[in-house]
Amino acid sequence: MSLPLVEPDLALLREGRVLIDVRAPVEFAQGALPGAVNLPLMDDEERHLVGITYKAHGQDAAIALGERLVSGGLKAARIAAWQRLLAAHPDAILYCFRGGLRSQLAQQWLADAGIRRPRIRGGWKAMRQALCARIDAAAEQPLLVVGGLTGCAKTPLILALDNGLDLEGCARHKGSAFGRHPLPAPSQINFEHAMGRRLLDLPGPLVLEDESRRIGAANIPLRFWEAMVPAPRIRIEMPLDWRLAQIRKDYIDDLWEIHRRQFGDWLGWALMRKQLSSALGRLRKRLGSERLARLQRLQALAFREHERGNRQAHEAWLAPLLTEYYDPLYRHQLEKHPERHFLHVGDWESCLRVAREWSAEAASKDGRPQSQSA
């Protein structure tokens, strides 16, 4: 009985199809396809033993060992896990690394249990190649880069556009020493897959934030980064008080809500304090010992006030952090690239309007449809 195959079509991701990844957990952690659930045929140790046997004695011996390791109640439990997911998502599709032995064996076991589901031809590798090709193709699309001092709400502007590409969201990092997310950062592969997945919905002009190539633990793929460097730019300029309120929301209020949801009040508070104090400590080299000590004292006082309900107290250390560190750093970057031309420099609302106008004009020139949010 032949087992059904589907082609490695990115439409599977665009449609939001649930994918059953039968690779080992260690492989899944290194990088998975968007929408995938890890229900492995073999665990990490079983895979390791089978791999050793494959290298020493060949494929047949490896298959025989795998069948001995995953048999009886263990085999039944893994089939049952696939069946439970398929009961909730009957159109789910299987894949392994190359769409070969492991996903084929999972198919066969399911078929023996009366369930026929396809596997992806070429597996994870073929789908990853297609996602990376989508990122490379996006480098040829019109790009508009949004710059501005820290706290100018560049990410909210990106998110307000239908054609905004939030690279920091893909990296799960806000792109600064204080930008770490409480949850683990994605692997480089998962960052690229998140980026590629978002680009499936963005065929026309793209608007994105001005970034260094590295965002947290992730690197923007080189070809796309090279396209960002000469792209036209706009720059948001907002007063310090406005920026401070935005920074407090990003670095304090939103961060606290994430910690509280994930870890509860007591542990969440302790972990948030540790994250923010560690982030400040990492700037020792740039700030100098004296200035760092002053900011650390102000931060400690702000935490005590925060516990009494005064979140605004954080502005006492956030304001000098902006004016003495982040603002000079950004202006230095501008001076390093004096040849860069800004299409527009203005407040947040005017930059949003210009980004929409640029998007509509670029879409008409590009000949591809581009919807814009109102």
DSSP 83-146: HHHHHH-TT-EEE-SSSSHHHHHHHHHHHHTT----EETTHHHHHHHHHHHHHHHHTTS-EEEE
The pLDDT value given to residue 336: 73
Q: Look at the alpha carbons of 230, 231, 234, 237 in this order and tell me if their dihedral is positive or negative.
A: negative
263-274 per-position pLDDT tens digit: 999 999 999 999
The pLDDT value given to residue 360: 96
Beta bridge partners of 208: 145, 165
Residues 6+ apart with CB under 8 A from 223: 135, 136, 139
Is the domain of 366 the same as that of 257?
A: yes
Is the domain of 149 the same as that of 279?
A: yes
* 156-172 mean pLDDT: 95
* 141-161 mean pLDDT: 95
Weakest mean pLDDT among 1-10, 154-163, 181-190:
181-190
Q: Are 322 and 242 contacting, i.e. CB atoms less than 8 angstroms apart?
A: no
Is the domain of 151 the same as that of 120?
A: no
In terms of residue numbers, what domain contains 298? Answer: 139-374
Residue with tokens 């399911």: 110
The pLDDT value given to residue 60: 86
The pLDDT value given to residue 372: 43
Is the domain of 362 the same as that of 226?
A: yes
Is the domain of 96 the same as that of 238?
A: no
The pLDDT value given to residue 369: 53
* 319-334 mean pLDDT: 89
| Final residue before a domain boundary, out of 131, 166, 189 | 131
- The length of the chain, given as a count of residues: 374
The pLDDT value given to residue 172: 87
Nearest residue to 167 via CA among 223, 206, 127: 206
Number of domains in the chain: 2
Task: Examine the pLDDT at 370 and tell me if it is beyond 70.
Answer: no
Residues 6+ apart with CB under 8 A from 338: none
- Active-site choice (96, 152, 170, 351): 96
Nearest residue to 69 via CA among 94, 85, 52, 93: 52
Weakest mean pLDDT among 60-74, 238-252, 309-323:
60-74
The pLDDT value given to residue 192: 97
H or E segment to which residue 37 belongs: strand 36-38
pTM of the complete model: 0.89
Average pLDDT, the chain: 91
Is the domain of 171 the same as that of 113?
A: no
What is the DSSP secondary structure assignment for residue 5, as one 8-state letter? E
Is the domain of 46 the same as that of 182?
A: no
Tell me, yes or no, if 170 is annotated catalytic.
Answer: no
| Tokens read off for 258 | 């994430």
Task: Examine the pLDDT at 70 and tell me if it is beyond 60.
Answer: yes
The pLDDT value given to residue 63: 84
Is the domain of 219 the same as that of 267?
A: yes
* 114-136 mean pLDDT: 97
Nearest residue to 182 via CA among 308, 269, 246: 269
Indicate the pLDDT class of residue 179, thresholds 50, 70 and 90.
Answer: low
User: Which CATH number characterizes residue 87's domain?
Assistant: 3.40.250.10
Query: What distance in Å separates the CA atoms of residue 76 and residue 82, rounded to the nearest whole number?
Result: 10
| Final residue before a domain boundary, out of 102, 131, 160 | 131
Task: Examine the pLDDT at 59 and tell me if it is beyond 90.
Answer: no
* 3-8 mean pLDDT: 95
Q: Are 7 and 121 contacting, i.e. CB atoms less than 8 angstroms apart?
A: yes
Q: Are 134 and 201 contacting, i.e. CB atoms less than 8 angstroms apart?
A: no
> Which of the two residues, 217 and 137, has the higher pLDDT score?
137
Is the domain of 127 the same as that of 206?
A: no
The pLDDT value given to residue 177: 63
Task: Examine the pLDDT at 371 and tell me if it is beyond 60.
Answer: no
Query: What distance in Å separates the CA atoms of residue 121 and residue 100, rounded to the nearest whole number?
Result: 8
| Final residue before a domain boundary, out of 131, 147, 167 | 131
Is the domain of 164 the same as that of 78?
A: no
Is the domain of 184 the same as that of 322?
A: yes
The pLDDT value given to residue 334: 82
Is the domain of 204 the same as that of 304?
A: yes
Query: What distance in Å separates the CA atoms of residue 151 and residue 241, rounded to the nearest whole number?
Result: 10
